Homo-oligomer: A and B are copies of this chain.
Amino acid sequence: MSNIRLGIVGLGKIARDQHLGAIAATDGIELTAVASRNAQLDGVHCFRDIADMLASGVELDAVSLCTPPQGRFAQARAAIEAGKHLMLEKPPGATLSEVFALERLAREKGVSLYATWHSRAAAAVEPVRDMLAKRTIRSVAVSWKEDVRHWHPGQAWIWEPGGLGVFDPGINALSIVTRIMPDSFHLTAADLSFPANRAAPIAANLAFETAGGVPVTAEFDWRQTGPQTWDIRIETDEGLIVMTHGGSRLIVDGTAQIVEEDHEYRRLYERFVEIVPASAIDADLSPLVHVADAFMLGRRLTVEAFED
């Protein structure tokens, strides 16, 4: 089969840090066009926006959206209506309803929709999923603490409604936990800390429970300086499982099992190449459902103003 001719929309930090290199490293897909208001890329067709890209006559099979979630629906709809397979950065939208609508549109048009969760492609995720299928889980504790000034410099959209604040990294943790757990879980209580001058939370404490009553807790904090923490600790009947570095490393009962470089985005594009020929839908919204639940059920606290 010939290569999937891909157009990407948005040439911000995530596109440059991750997508471009992953596309170049993946068999079966090639970057043909880019749409970006401010930036250009050598060697591919460049457009100001997705409308120009779709109207240009440049032949594309698929579109990958690397823009912020607010306002992504119109771009996604345009791509699907033009018959393009579609891949979405996380979170797949600013609302659940719009992503449900995209899923229906994609089915009607017979194109693939891939709502990606890059952290699910971290090296330890599938091995832990297999382990947990055979063990009894006693508790799960997520600690996701990073320095927003380092990781999101000048990204104003992230503090606006729909930008999700600390849930932007936090949803990565939730995408892992929803993948590895054999049982579903739901929020029972949450505190969300909003800086006095911001529309999105800078920290969150979440208490979940599985349908079977196992406690799952999560602490998200963007005010962490010094060592950064992206850990998930799982107590089981057969001992402790710890995932660190965002799911890329694994320690079972104190012994390191997986120490691997990060290939998350390459795995995403490999998966996309796999599902496009069948026009398959891969859109598990459960991480975003948990975030929406947290905003709905969470108690809002006001904390110190945050200046970039």
Contacts and interface: CB of A to CB of B under 8 A. Distances in A.
Interface of A: 73, 77, 93-98, 100-101, 104-105, 161-162, 164, 184-187, 189-190, 194, 199, 211, 286, 289-293, 295-300
B297 A199 contact: no
A237 B230 CA distance: 54
A105 B211 CA distance: 9
Contact of A297 (B161, B298, B299): B161
Contact of A97 (B100, B104, B199, B289): B289
A284 to B, nearest CB: 12
Given A96-B293, A186-B73, A289-B96, A300 B199 contact: yes
B291 A95 contact: no
A291 B296 contact: yes
B297 A211 contact: no
A17 to B, nearest CB: 26
Contacts of A286: 97
A85 B179 CA distance: 30
A291 to B, nearest CB: 7
A298 B290 CA distance: 16
A164 B295 CA distance: 11
6 contacts: A73-B186, A100-B289, A104-B211, A105-B211, A164-B296, A292-B292
Nearest to A210: B101
A195 to B, nearest CB: 12
Copies of this subunit: 2
Interface centre among A97, A187, A289, A299 (most CB of B within 10 A): A97
Contacts of A98: 186-187
A174 B298 CA distance: 22
Contacts of A95: 186-187, 293, 296-297
A174 to B, nearest CB: 11
A184 B105 CA distance: 11
A162 to B, nearest CB: 5
Given A95-B297, A161-B190, 9 more contacts: A94-B187, A95-B186, A96-B96, A96-B293, A97-B289, A100-B289, A161-B299, A199-B300, A300-B300
A299 B199 contact: yes
A105 B183 CA distance: 11
A179 to B, nearest CB: 15
A293 B97 CA distance: 7
A292 B98 CA distance: 13
Contact of A211 (B77, B185, B289, B291): B77
A104 B184 contact: yes
B300 A211 contact: no
Contacts of A199: 299-300
